[in-house]
């Protein structure tokens, strides 16, 4: 039972990361919203901190640590 929950949580984290990537590809502000919503998971926040850094000077995206 506990193993199932852990697997489901990992799949959810992976899914959220894909949603973040898609939001960033479309250059939408959704990415910031996803980071706010998913603040409950420290592991995800730590991952996003490294994965979704702003690119260039005109980017709408900020690292996860700036949102928390």
Q: Tell me the domain boundaries of the chain.
A: 2-67
pLDDT for residue 50: 45
Find out whether 54 and 62 touch, Cβ atoms under 8 Å: yes
User: What is the reported pLDDT for 56?
Assistant: 52
Predicted confidence (pLDDT) per residue in 42-62, tens digit? 445 455 544 444 455 444 454
Task: Please write the tens of the pLDDT for every residue from 3-46.
Answer: 777 667 766 666 666 766 666 555 555 445 555 444 444 445 45
For residue 65 the two structure tokens come to 């640590």
For residues 37 and 12, the answer to whether their CB atoms sit within 8 Å is no
Tokens, residue 49: 């901190």
pTM: 0.27
Torsion sign across C-alpha atoms 20, 10, 39, 68: negative
Confidence band of 68 (pLDDT split at 50, 70, 90): very low
């Amino acid at each position: 039972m506990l193993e199932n929950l852990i697997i489901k949580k990992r799949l959810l984290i992976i899914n959220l990361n894909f949603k973040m990537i898609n939001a960033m590809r479309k250059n939408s502000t959704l990415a910031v919203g996803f980071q706010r919503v998913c603040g409950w998971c420290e592991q995800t926040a730590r991952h996003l901190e490294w994965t979704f850094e702003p690119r260039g000077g005109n980017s709408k995206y900020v690292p996860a640590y700036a949102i928390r």
